[in-house]
Every structure is written in structure tokens, then in C-alpha cells.
């Protein structure tokens, strides 16, 4: 596989009651936050001023969706109140302003992902649609019986279902890389499963449950050595880690704006340009065409041949403002802040009886989320009671049912962090967990 071109020329718990798969020990403290002014950052997020059931909102569900800073909200409003027009079509002032703002975000995405070619940036609705685009437009026309798709046991359903369906309709086979008891991908099993029949390797850069950061560059090189295409779900990594796609050399990478301070309804598929050129369009209609006759059609250049119809213009412009905000914060500083907070959360969770926390033992190989199981209280009950104290966490299977089965549970509870979270949020979580256990008559 050819390496991606840059526009101008970082990769990768605590168990208090047993060695469940994915459970881990805390090994070392992460560095203290470097340069994040938490009080100022919180002022940028209007929603953090509200009360929930009379309590301060403690939002610990950013792995599901992040809150939005005022500058993102302002960018969306500014578009609608000053430059509302369709993009690419109109030859008037509003249309030209809208197009310039919309297309400018393509450059920002390319810069965020390591300076990759803007022509590889396809706007979609979310990471799910981006992964489906690869499964439908690249995989289905090219797979046949005897071919293999290699996925992992820790995948979100968004990076499972499209490949399961592609295998079903083409006759290809699914092979699964297992995880170790510590919550890491089993690299020995990966290399054993990888062979000349492997046509696609699809895996997450970072697990939405375990927080595990996978060795993307190393796995990609091994897959390319056997001629496989590499598709990476970056929905959980792009908001938290420096991502250099030129260094990682993946063939396709998916992300969602709403998980990185942007609005909902906007995603990105970045793929190497030669791969996009090979692919037929996923959707047909306006804008993705070059010329239409009653008996034939020719398609637009990439990336526009994959962006049929009127896009989410305001959402993309809002995403551009979110990228500006993240770039100003600094992804490296944000990552260090989250690592410190994750270590602190795991230390505090050790104080509570009956909890198992899942994830890798080395903080450098994970972070940003703490997923845990209370042997005495169902995760849904935990979440419900915590909400009465203003603490918002996620409870359920986290769209990762095969991983839940591997961990031996039906559901878990998950707290996830972002730039607006601090130790006071972790303390609020711990206090609420104690009260929850007391409510159900258990020691804490």
C-alpha cells in the first residue's frame, strides 16, 4: 500500500476482587496536568452552568458525546445568521462565503491528522457512516469466498456490523483477534491469524470500553506485508491523542465530530486518495456528479463524489471551530490531563469495595475512560442513582456486546473524561457511588 501524502509534502485498572478479563492493576501515576486552566475552560461550556436535580452537573460521559464550547455554538449561529446558503453551487456572496467556510474545514481536518492530503477528507454523518462507506464501496465489490476480514474482540458495533454484513453477502470469512486478560489485543494471535487470505484488517485505535490504545503502526505494517487493507476506527482516539496518519500509514480512518467538541451529524472518513479513486460512490444524487445523461453518468473528483446532496454545512463549520479550540488547548496537553485524571480515578475507585475496573495496567497504553463493574449493584441502577446527585455516567454494553461477553458481564458502568473534567468530578463520582451502595444496603 502506498503511504499517504502530506498536504505540505502518538500513539496508545484496577481490580479489587479478582482477575476478570481486562481487569488490571494500577502501576504508575501519570504526570500532572500541564497548562490546562480548568476554571477558564469550564467557563467556555454553557451547559456546565446548569443544575441536575438541584446538583452541579458532573458530566462523565464524554466517550458517548462531548459538550460544546461557546465558540462552536457561535460558529454555527454565525453561519445561519450571516452566510446561510448552499455550498459549491451558488455564484453569489452568501454561497461563496458558505463554500469557503465549509471547504476550509477540510484543511483543518487534514492538519489535525498529521498534514494529510485534504482530498482524502470525506465528510459523512459520523464515524459509523464512514466505516459503512468503506464496507459498502470498497469491501463488498472486492471480497469473495475464501477471503478473510480480520477484526478484534474489543470493537464497537460500528466497526463490527458493517464487516459482518460484508462477509455475509460476499461469502468472506470473519476472523477475530482476542484480547488478553489485561485488556490488550493478543499480538501473538494477531500474527497467527494474519495471512495471505486477509483482505481487510479493521480495528479500533482506542477502545471505547477499556481505554486501550492499540499499536496501530505496527499492526498496519504487518497487514500491509500480506497485502491487506487497513481500516481504523478512530472515534475514541482522535479526540484524545495526537494522530499522524502519515506516520501510522493506515489506508482509512474514521472519526466523529461530536466526540471532539463538535456538533452531532458530522463525521470524517479519511482514506488514501488512490483508494478513494478506485471506489464507486456510496450514494447517488446532486454534487457527486460530473455529468449526467439519461443513459449514463460520470462522477465528480474525490472527495466530492462521496458527498451526495446538501451536506451538514453548519455542522461542518461548527466542527472547524471545535478543531480550532482543540488545537489551542493542545492535544498533547489534553492527553496528559486525562491520563492524570484516569490514574486518580482508579486510585479512588480502589477505596470502594466490590468494584472491578477494566483496562490495561500501563497508563501509557490506555486512559480517558474508567469502566467498572459493581458486583452488588447493576450498572443501570448505579447510573440512575448517580444521576440524582448530578453525576452523569454511561451504563450498558456500550455497543460492544462481544467484549462484554469476554469480560463475563452483561453490562458495565463507564466514566469518561475530557478537557472540562477535574479531580472534583472524580470526587463527586466516588461520593455518589458510596451513597448508592449505602442506598442498596452494601458497605462501601
DSSP helix/strand/coil, 59: strand
Average of pLDDT values for 168-189?
97
Q: Above 80 in pLDDT, residue 174?
A: yes
Q: Above 80 in pLDDT, residue 58?
A: yes
Q: How far apart are CA 402 and CA 157, in angstroms?
A: 9
Q: Above 90 in pLDDT, residue 39?
A: yes
> pLDDT value at position 366?
78
Q: Above 80 in pLDDT, residue 77?
A: yes
DSSP 114: T
Q: How far apart are CA 28 and CA 364, in angstroms?
A: 10
> pLDDT value at position 35?
64
The one catalytic residue among 246, 399, 419, 436: 399
Report CA Rg, the chain: 22
Confidence band for 145, pLDDT divided at 50, 70 and 90: very high
pTM for this model (two decimals): 0.92
> pLDDT value at position 5?
54
CA nearest to 282, candidates 158, 170, 125: 125
pLDDT digits (tens, 9 = 90+) for 256-296: 999 999 999 999 999 999 999 999 998 888 887 788 899 89
Least confident span in 17-26, 312-321, 435-444 = 17-26
Average of pLDDT values for 324-329?
97
> pLDDT value at position 74?
98
Q: Above 60 in pLDDT, residue 26?
A: no
Chain centroid offset of residue 225 CA: 27
Average of pLDDT values for 121-128?
98
pLDDT digits (tens, 9 = 90+) for 198-218: 999 999 999 999 999 999 999
> pLDDT value at position 338?
94
> pLDDT value at position 288?
78
User: Which residue's C-alpha cell is 462481544?
Assistant: 402
Q: At CB < 8 A and 24+ separation, what contacts does 405-412 make?
A: 406/21, 406/22, 406/153, 406/178, 406/179, 407/20, 407/21, 407/22, 407/358, 407/373, 408/20, 408/21, 409/373, 411/378, 411/379, 411/380, 412/209, 412/358, 412/371, 412/372, 412/373, 412/379
> Is residue 30 a contact partner of residue 340, using CB atoms and an 8 Å limit?
yes
CA nearest to 9, candidates 118, 155, 117: 117
> pLDDT value at position 289?
76
The C-alpha cell at 374 is: 459493581
Q: How far apart are CA 399 and CA 397, in angstroms?
A: 5
Whether the ω angle into residue 206 lies within 30 degrees of 0, i.e. cis, is no
Whole-Å CA distances, 178 to 192, 255, 402: 11, 24, 10
> pLDDT value at position 287?
83
> pLDDT value at position 23?
46
* 436 catalytically annotated: no
Average of pLDDT values for 33-48?
88
Average of pLDDT values for 355-365?
83
Q: Above 90 in pLDDT, residue 33?
A: no
Q: Above 70 in pLDDT, residue 316?
A: yes
Confidence band for 18, pLDDT divided at 50, 70 and 90: very low
Q: Above 90 in pLDDT, residue 159?
A: yes
CA nearest to 118, candidates 200, 43, 7, 12: 7
Q: Above 50 in pLDDT, residue 98?
A: yes
User: Which residue's C-alpha cell is 451526495?
Assistant: 308
Amino acid at each position: 500500500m502506498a503511504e499517504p501524502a502530506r498536504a505540505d509534502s502518538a500513539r496508545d485498572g484496577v481490580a479489587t476482587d479478582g482477575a476478570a478479563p481486562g481487569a488490571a492493576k494500577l502501576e504508575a501515576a501519570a504526570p500532572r496536568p500541564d497548562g490546562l486552566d480548568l476554571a477558564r475552560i469550564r467557563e467556555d461550556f454553557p451547559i456546565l452552568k446548569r443544575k441536575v436535580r438541584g446538583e452541579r452537573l458532573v458530566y462523565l460521559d464524554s466517550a458517548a458525546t462531548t459538550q460544546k464550547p461557546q465558540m462552536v455554538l457561535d460558529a454555527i449561529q454565525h453561519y445561519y445568521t450571516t452566510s446561510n446558503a448552499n455550498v459549491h453551487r451558488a455564484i453569489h456572496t452568501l454561497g461563496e462565503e458558505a463554500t469557503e467556510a465549509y471547504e476550509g474545514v477540510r484543511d483543518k481536518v487534514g492538519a489535525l491528522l498529521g498534514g494529510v492530503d485534504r482530498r482524502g477528507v470525506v465528510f459523512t454523518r459520523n464515524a459509523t457512516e464512514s466505516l459503512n462507506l468503506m464496507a459498502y464501496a470498497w469491501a463488498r465489490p472486492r471480497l469473495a469466498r475464501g477471503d478473510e476480514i480480520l477484526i478484534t474482540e474489543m470493537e464497537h458495533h460500528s466497526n463490527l456490523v458493517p464487516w459482518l454484513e460484508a462477509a455475509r453477502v460476499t461469502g468472506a470469512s470473519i476472523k477475530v483477534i482476542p484480547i488478553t486478560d489485561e485488556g490488550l489485543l493478543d499480538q501473538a494471535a494477531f500474527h497467527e491469524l494474519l495471512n495471505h487470505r486477509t483482505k481487510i484488517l479493521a480495528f479500533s485505535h482506542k477502545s471505547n470500553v477499556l481505554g486501550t490504545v492499540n499499536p496501530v503502526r505496527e499492526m498496519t505494517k504487518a497487514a500491509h506485508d500480506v497485502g491487506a487493507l487497513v481500516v481504523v476506527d478512530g472515534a475514541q482516539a482522535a479526540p484524545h491523542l495526537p494522530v499522524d496518519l502519515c506516520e501510522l500509514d493506515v489506508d482509512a480512518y474514521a472519526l466523529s465530530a461530536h466526540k471532539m467538541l463538535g456538533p452531532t451529524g458530522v463525521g470524517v472518513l479519511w482514506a488514501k486518495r488512490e483508494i478513494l479513486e478506485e471506489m464507486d460512490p456510496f450514494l447517488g444524487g446532486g454534487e457527486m456528479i460530473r455529468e449526467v445523461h439519461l443513459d449514463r453518468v460520470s462522477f465528480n473528483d474525490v472527495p466530492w463524489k462521496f458527498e451526495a446532496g446538501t451536506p451538514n454545512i453548519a455542522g461542518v463549520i461548527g466542527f472547524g471551530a471545535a478543531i480550532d479550540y482543540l488545537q489551542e488547548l493542545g492535544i498533547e496537553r489534553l492527553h496528559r490531563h486525562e491520563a492524570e485524571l484516569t490514574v486518580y480515578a482508579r486510585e479512588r475507585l480502589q477505596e470502594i469495595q466490590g468494584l472491578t475496573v477494566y483496562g490495561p495496567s500501563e497508563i501509557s497504553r490506555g486512559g480517558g475512560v474508567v469502566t467498572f463493574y459493581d458486583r452488588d449493584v447493576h450498572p443501570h441502577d448505579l447510573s440512575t442513582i448517580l444521576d440524582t446527585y448530578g453525576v452523569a455516567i454511561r451504563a450498558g454494553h456500550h455497543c460492544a456486546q462481544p467484549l462484554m461477553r469476554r469480560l463475563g458481564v452483561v453490562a458495565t458502568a463507564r466514566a469518561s473524561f475530557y478537557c472540562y473534567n477535574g479531580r472534583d468530578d472524580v470526587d463527586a463520582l466516588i461520593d455518589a457511588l458510596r451513597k448508592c451502595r449505602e442506598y442498596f444496603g452494601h458497605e462501601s
